[in-house]
């Protein structure tokens, strides 16, 4: 997989940066300010149905952009633990172990400790699950008469559950594997499933919504595929295959995916959009499932083609030749936040590892872009403090010391950049 060694910063240089991020994360801990804080602040929530809501939000964001950490402190925004931060940091540690001679002995149990920290913060429910900490998220999709269930969030459950399974398998920890299996049971039990006659299915973001969000469904498929075959319940396998069929059927002719399914938009009337990091999450999910080898043979080639076509669209419509990323396609308008680059590097790594890339044009585009994407991702880093900006406003890095949309994703992304050189 050594495609970029002559073009990209040497692995030992990237690893020094990674170590700086690691030290800073240990200093700051799990509870952080986050880019999503603002929409859940009482001042914004109080004006939710008011004509002045946008004015209030923009005014607050203006102060926030100038001095993020002091402003958050001044208006008493609480620091929170966002569960997917465990995923990014834990997966980064797990890959760190696998890259060989650079691993000191004191790193060996770090992924286990991350899993244990995640389990300490799970909801008190029969099955392992986590709550999304932001009030505003998913509010427009809430439905009446929902089942009696804990406020489980599929995005967090799928990703952190996958971490538990991967660390459990790598470190021979049956307890972590069982916790990951419990997370899969939470998805089956607490969330709303839609089964269709064409053999596809979807799962809701929350027990109290009826949405069909493609990247989240795809991550649930990865969770199910990460369960060891001997322990995987038949329902998980059938749901896994049905989700993948849905993802395949939702891929547009140009290789892209909307954020939600066609049926979702017909029901809710939401504005359709295609964006950078959610697209990358769909590609990497398909690639992870393909790489694990648990799909029926009849689906394998179709999935491979979908990955290659999806990555071709992704690289050509979200990135300029200099590696600059954009939030929306067609290379214009809003710049990508840090997670666009890091989820993009993950999508490239897993697409290559799965064996999905067989056409030279995609391979050449990948080879040309990866070192430039990595360099652009590093522009979010403050090399003195080790803090990582979440995004940019008016040409300035927005340094909020976020773990979920900052240093956690960059720790993970640098591992993919390094592994692509080995």
Distance CA 2, CA 6 (A): 9
β-bridge partners, 201: 195
Contact 151, 176 (CB under 8 A): no
For 109, the 3-state DSSP assignment is: coil
Tens-of-pLDDT digits for all 422 residues of the chain?
444 444 567 778 899 999 999 999 999 999 999 888 887 777 777 776 677 777 877 888 888 888 889 988 988 888 999 999 999 999 999 999 888 665 554 456 899 999 999 999 999 999 999 999 886 666 677 775 566 889 999 999 999 999 999 999 999 999 999 999 999 999 999 999 999 999 999 999 999 999 999 999 999 999 999 999 999 999 999 999 999 999 999 999 999 999 999 999 999 988 999 999 999 999 999 999 999 988 999 999 999 999 999 999 999 999 999 999 999 998 778 899 999 999 999 999 999 999 999 988 898 999 999 999 999 999 999 999 999 999 988 788 999 999 999 999 999 999 999 999 87
β-bridge partners, 319: 325
- What's the confidence (pLDDT) of residue 288? 98
Q: 40, exposed or middle or buried, with CB in 10 Å at 0-12, 13-18, 19+?
A: middle
- What's the confidence (pLDDT) of residue 4? 46
- What's the confidence (pLDDT) of residue 406? 96
Q: Report residue 297 CA to chain centroid gap.
A: 28
Where in the chain are the domains?
A: 38-70
DSSP labels for 47-72? TTTSTTHHHHHHHHHHHHHHSHHHHH
- What's the confidence (pLDDT) of residue 163? 98
- What's the confidence (pLDDT) of residue 105? 45
Sequence-ordered list of residues with C-beta below 8 angstroms from that of 276, at least 6 positions apart, any chain: 314, 318, 325, 326, 327, 328, 336, 340, 343, 344
Least Cα distance to 155 among 88, 252, 250 occurs for 88
- What's the confidence (pLDDT) of residue 363? 87
Sequence-ordered list of residues with C-beta below 8 angstroms from that of 131, at least 6 positions apart, any chain: 83, 123, 150, 151, 152, 153, 156
CA dihedral 46, 50, 54, 55 (to 10 degrees): -90
Distance CA 336, CA 406 (A): 13
Contact 370, 345 (CB under 8 A): yes
Distance CA 68, CA 77 (A): 11
- What's the confidence (pLDDT) of residue 87? 98
Q: 401, exposed or middle or buried, with CB in 10 Å at 0-12, 13-18, 19+?
A: buried
Contact 389, 401 (CB under 8 A): no
Distance CA 240, CA 35 (A): 32
- What's the confidence (pLDDT) of residue 57? 78
Q: Report residue 224 CA to chain centroid gap.
A: 16
Q: 30, exposed or middle or buried, with CB in 10 Å at 0-12, 13-18, 19+?
A: buried
CA dihedral 401, 317, 88, 272 (to 10 degrees): 90
Model confidence, pTM: 0.93
- What's the confidence (pLDDT) of residue 249? 98
């Amino acid at each position: 997989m050594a495609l970029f060694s002559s073009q990209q910063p040497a692995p030992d240089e990237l690893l020094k940066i990674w170590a700086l991020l690691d030290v800073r994360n240990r200093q700051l801990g799990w509870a952080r300010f986050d880019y999503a804080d603002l929409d859940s602040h009482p001042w914004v929530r109080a004006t939710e149905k008011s004509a002045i809501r946008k004015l209030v939000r923009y005014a607050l964001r203006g102060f926030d952009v100038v001095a993020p950490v002091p402003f958050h402190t001044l208006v008493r925004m609480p620091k929170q633990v966002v569960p997917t931060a465990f995923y990014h940091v834990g997966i980064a540690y797990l890959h760190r172990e696998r890259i060989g001679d650079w691993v000191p002995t004191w790193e060996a149990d770090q992924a286990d400790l991350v899993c244990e920290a995640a389990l300490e913060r799970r909801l008190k429910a029969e099955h392992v699950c986590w709550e999304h900490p932001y009030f505003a998220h998913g509010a427009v999709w809430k439905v009446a008469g929902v089942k009696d269930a804990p406020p489980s969030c599929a995005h967090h459950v799928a990703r952190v559950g996958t971490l538990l399974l991967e660390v459990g398998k790598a470190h021979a920890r049956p307890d972590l594997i069982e916790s990951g299996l419990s997370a899969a049971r939470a998805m089956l039990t607490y969330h709303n499933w839609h089964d269709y006659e064409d053999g596809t299915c979807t799962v809701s973001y929350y027990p109290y919504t009826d949405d069909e969000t493609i990247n989240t469904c795809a991550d649930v498929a990865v969770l199910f595929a990460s369960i060891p075959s001997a322990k995987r319940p038949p329902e998980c396998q059938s749901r896994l295959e049905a989700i993948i069929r849905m993802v395949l059927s939702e891929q547009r002719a140009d290789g892209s995916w909307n954020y939600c399914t066609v049926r979702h938009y017909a029901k809710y009337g939401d504005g359709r959009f295609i964006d950078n990091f959610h697209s990358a999450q769909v590609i990497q999910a398909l690639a992870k499932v393909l790489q694990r080898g648990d799909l029926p043979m009849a689906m394998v080639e179709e999935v491979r083609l979908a990955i290659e076509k999806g990555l071709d669209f992704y690289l050509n419509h979200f990135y300029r030749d200099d590696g600059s990323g954009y939030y929306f396609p067609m290379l214009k308008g809003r710049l990508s936040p840090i997670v666009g680059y890091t989820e993009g590097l993950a999508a490239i790594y897993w697409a290559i590892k799965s064996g999905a890339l067989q056409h030279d044009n995609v391979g050449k585009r990948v080879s040309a872009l990866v070192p430039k994407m990595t360099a652009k991702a590093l522009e979010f880093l403050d090399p003195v403090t080790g803090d990582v900006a979440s995004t940019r406003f008016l040409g300035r890095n927005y340094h909020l010391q976020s773990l979920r949309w900052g240093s956690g994703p960059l720790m993970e992304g640098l591992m993919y950049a390094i592994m692509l050189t080995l």
